[in-house]
Amino acid sequence: MPVNRITWSQVGGVTDPGRYMFTFGWLMITAEDLAVWKAYPNATFTLLRTLTLSDEATEEKLPGEEFRLGTFELRENISLSEQ
């Protein structure tokens, strides 16, 4: 997985909790995640892969992977490549 940490600016500064599609897959963002980003806009979260999505009725795998935000790191300054 090429992406393992993510910043608020990398997810477009989303303002509502929900499930969002990105190039690496689906990302679940909770109200608690957003509270951290609102208090600490430069925080970086670790991406955690959740279970592979599947259709329970057909047992077929759906396209894309799903992730949630894990632990976060507080940073005062971030590099231009992480913005």
User: What are residue 18's DSSP bridge partners?
Assistant: 29
Q: Look at residues 37, 39, 28 and name the one whose alpha carbon lies nearest to residue 69.
A: 28
- Whether residue 45 is contained in a domain is answered as yes
Q: Which token pair is 3?
A: 């992406």
77 occurs within a structural domain: no
- In what helix (H) or strand (E) does residue 27 lie, and over which residues does it extend? strand 25-29
pLDDT for position 79: 56
Report the C-alpha gap between 8 and 40 in whole angstroms. Answer: 10
Q: Is the residue at 51 inside a domain?
A: yes
Would residue 80 count as lying in a domain? no
Residues 15 and 58: beta-carbon distance below 8 Å: no
Q: Is the pTM of this model over 0.75?
A: no
**How many folded domains does the chain comprise?**
1
Tell me whether residue 76 is in a domain: no
78: in domain: no
For residue 54, the cross-strand partners are: 61
In a domain, 29, yes or no: yes
Would you state the pLDDT for residue 54?
Answer: 55
Give me the tens of pLDDT residue by residue for the chain, a chain 83 residues long.
456 899 999 999 999 999 999 888 899 999 999 999 999 999 999 999 986 555 555 455 556 789 999 999 987 665 555 55
pLDDT of residue 63: 60
Residue 54 belongs to what domain range?
A: 5-70
